[in-house]
Structure 1
Amino acid sequence: MMRIGLFLLTNLAVLVVFGIVFSILSAFFGLGSVHGAGGINFGSLAVMCAIYGMVGSMVSLLLSKWMAKRSTGTVVIEQPRNATEKWLVDTVAKQAKAVKIDMPEVGIFDNAQPNAFATGWNKNKALVAVSSGLLHTMTPDEVEAVLAHEIGHVANGDMVTLALIQGVVNAFVMFFARVVGSFVDRVVFKNEDGPGIGYFVTSIVMDILLGFLASAIVMWFSRKREFRADEMGAKLAGREKMISALDALRPAEQRPDQMPENMKAFAISAGQSQSFSIANFFRSHPTLDDRIAALKDYNPSKA
């Protein structure tokens, strides 16, 4: 099942590293006067967490395309070698022109599953990639719709918006992790002489725990952006083509997914069941049934 994407994993790692650096600097060098004789200075802590939280998210965003290429083995089409590659590049070029963005890089990654993703720190510096399985199992009309869906992600600025949301979430995670860390240090470890081992250990643990729980908020946005990208796919390629493309993904839900775990939130296919569970809050994609139902009620001509 597609849940946590490369962006979120990279962000969590950056968040933990930044959290450790932040704790050390603030404790031993008085950075921002976060720790005082009376405990934490909440105002300074909030400011510093906002800065570090946003920086961590922006680093994740800037690394997203590079990491996507490496983790999926995507080969960018520099010069089309065959009719299929030329058609892919020409189709993406036409769609990019229609939504007034610069031509993205176009790539193919080796994966038996029909899948595709788009990423990049800027809508004019994006990457759109499709799997070999998608090219082998879908019709040209369906592939066109999938490409249009991914172009929708790029044109809607989903990666930038995701980074902003994640930055805000990061700030809250770091803030409350350090509040809890200070509480444990003082109450459990009885340390009144400034931050001690209890503060550092608890802060790091809470960074990880709260970071994971807070990802539910980011995943909620991810599910919303899938509906918007589907609508863009319907606009650019046609609603019936987009519905057909989503319907063609159904068999993929029944097979083990070979997509790298750290890229699954970026993909168009997400193999979820309809049953309710806590895991639903951490899903990056709505179910295919929900997406198809939304498209049937959508009229591109009135949008």
Structure 2
Amino acid sequence: MMRIMLFLATNIAVLIIASITLKLLGVDRFTGQNYGSLLVFCAVFGFAGSLVSLFLSKWMAKMSTKTEIITQPRTRHEQWLMQTVEELSREAGIKMPEVGIFPAYESNAFATGWNKNDALVAVSQGLLERFSPDEVRAVLAHEIGHVANGDMVTLALIQGVVNTFVMFFARIFGNFVDKVILKNEDGPGIGYFVATIFAELVLGILASIIVMWFSRKREFKADEAGARLAGTGAMIAALQRLRAEQEVPVTMPNSLTAFGINGGLKGGLAGLLMTHPPLEVRIEALRQRG
């Protein structure tokens, strides 16, 4: 889950900076009459935000989680971790990713990177200390599955599409408020800018529901990949261990507690904005598959 949240945070930051800059420079002054030009304009900046997020994903993940990259294994555990990732990567048909450990008590892991041959796989210190070797291997296989499936690239494309339409319809709404409701005929006024920002916030939440739905679907695919690479029994055991630890007090910041493989799903509207399905649903899906 970490790779998704860091990606979205970077994407939103890029879009906000681009939107403010365009307004200050007077570039963002579409009247809504030329929808083709407006759509191209929104596509350029919408995809720019998602692609910049994609290329910065590894750097953001390292900095925000304080992940320490293993360049030369110093302990038996680090050596085993490197060998396991190398073996799983070879079986998955991808280049060996960077391997790291981040300081967190909770059991978690993530994978990110702009393409499957330039990725990062990291696990928490807590996971390494409390999980069995087979369970750690299954978690690593799950993350390798994300990389091999190209989930980050697909996410970037989906995010670029939703960014485009959020910007497009927000500006149409802003123009409607400015011209039709406020009867402003002197060019975009304050009503246009306020209405556009409001619409971007509302549409952005709706767009996030689409992205989160995609993320939940990809978790099932990564679980299947983990089961193929490490064994269905080991993958189920790892998810069961994660579920058992959901009641363990978390020492990571709130902004990171739901970012990795260990992510639950709440009911109602909150469930639509979660990146992971419930662990019990994922376990049952693997049992039916196996």
Q: Distance in 2 between matches of 1:118 and 1:266?
A: 11
Deviates more, 1:15-24 or 1:146-155: 15-24
Counting only pairs closer than 5 Å after superposition, residues 4-153 of structure 1 correspond to structure 2 as 5-24=5-24, 28-29=26-27, 34-35=30-31, 39-153=32-146
8 Å Cα contact 2:110/2:143 also seen in 1? yes
1:233-292: CA deviations, max 9, x gaps?
00000000000000000132223444455556651101335xx31111111000011100
Aligned ranges 1:185-200 → 2 under 5 Å: 185-200=178-193
1:226, 1:286 within 8 Å by CA — same for their partners in 2? yes
Contact 1:2/1:271 (<8 A) preserved: no
Amino acid in the other structure paired with 1:291: R
Q: Which residue of 149, 152, 157 corresponds with 1:159?
A: 152
Structure 1 match to 2:274: 283
- Once residues 104 and 40 of structure 1 are traced to their aligned partners in structure 2, the CA distance between those partners, rounded to angstroms, is 48
Q: 1:233 to 1:290 in 2, by over 3 A?
A: same
> Quick check: 2:258–2:264 contact (8 Å CA) kept in 1?
no
Q: Which runs of 5+ in 1 are unaligned?
A: none
**Would you say the 8 A contact 1:110–1:132 is kept in 2?**
yes
Give the match for residue 243 of structure 1. Answer: 236
Counterpart residue type for residue 195 of structure 2 = T
8 A Cα contact 1:111 1:259, kept in partner? yes
CA contact (8 A) 1:2 1:261 kept: no
Q: Percent identity?
A: 60
1:88-144 deviation per Cα after TM superposition (whole angstroms, max 9, x unaligned): 000000111111111100000010001100001111110000000001110000000
Displacement after TM superposition at 1:151 (Å): 0.1
Distance in 2, matches of 1:15 and 1:183, equals: 22
Q: Distance in 2 between matches of 1:191 and 1:4?
A: 41
DSSP 3-state at the match of 2:236? helix
Change (3 A) 1:202 1:194: same
CA contact (8 A) 2:2 2:110 kept: no
Describe the shift of the 1:248–1:287 C-alpha distance in structure 2 as closer, same or farther (beyond 3 A). same
Give the whole-Å Cα distance in 1 for the aligned partners of 2:65 and 2:187: 46
- Is residue 2:201 matched to residue 1:182? no
SS in 2 for 1:285: coil
Distance 1:219-1:258 versus aligned 2 partners, 3 A rule: farther
1:296 aligns with 2:287: yes
Cα pair 1:55 1:167 within 8 Å, conserved: yes
TM (norm. structure 2) is 0.94
- Structure 1 residues 2, 9: closer, same or farther in 2, change over 3 A? same
Instruction: State the AA in 2 paired with 1:298.
Output: R
* Partner Cα separation in structure 2 for residue 97 and residue 283 of structure 1: 31
**Structure 2 segments unaligned to the other structure (5+ residues):** none
Task: Work out the number of aligned pairs and report it.
Answer: 290
Change in CA separation of 1:140 and 1:146 when aligned onto 2, cut-off 3 Å: same
1:12 shift after superposition: 1.4
The letter for the 2-side match of 1:118 is A
What's 1:219 paired with?
A: 212
Report the RMSD for the aligned CA atoms in angstroms.
2.1
Report what 1:228 is aligned to: 221
Report the Cα distance in structure 1 between the residues aligned to 2:130 and 2:216, rounded to whole angstroms: 25
Contact preservation (8 Å) 1:152, 1:233: yes
TM-score normalised to the size of structure 1? 0.90
Counterpart of 1:210 (choices 183, 203, 207) is: 203
Q: Partners of 2:241 and 2:85 in 1: how far apart?
A: 20
CA distance in 2, matches of 1:21, 1:34: 15
